[in-house]
Structure 1
């Protein structure tokens, strides 16, 4: 009987913890700033990797592995923020964060594909795009917290 009761309580706890969080405005802003900070870091990492690869200062396999890590970290940060219910006064931050995080994901994917295909001519264009995106991410991160 105790075992069944413990299992029932455990099941209730697990299912109740699956409800999406609804933080207050300050907490949501902090979460957005954290996710945006992760994106800033990963965008800068990929930018540096492309420059090093273009100049021949890093082996391609190391770049390929790090690109996967960067994409995974960005995906986790984006999903973490996306799982929150923003308070109404944070809708604009939520929308802009979502757009920029999606753009970052697309650019990191573009970089990975270019590296995989050995399309060195694309690296400089992607680096420029990453610079621009990094600046916009930093600006939004600063305003979010």
Structure 2
């Protein structure tokens, strides 16, 4: 059963701009028994423009969309399509198996599958009891 993770946007989801305008990236974060799934809207971006990392228990997604030279030279009356860079930092609700993370970009939606880390079962270990010398 899939559970939706809901938190206050101000609490941990941040979009930061480095160049140009803040590029708006909407995010859905869900969790199943086996993984956490993040979906971000990144319209008009290519795989080479996006970087996905795990740092200190958080998913960090950065990217940059350049304004084309054709748009800069045009005689526009209105320009609403965003450009610039973004950085999203999303604390993860559990440990993930970093070596099995997959990120796919399809039709402007970046889907990141973060498999949960398998916790090793606690093994029983016999502890020897020795007599005290005192």
TM-score (structure 1 length as normaliser): 0.25
Higher strand share: 2
| Larger relative contact order (CA 8 Å, sep ≥ 6) | 1
TM-score (structure 2 length as normaliser): 0.27
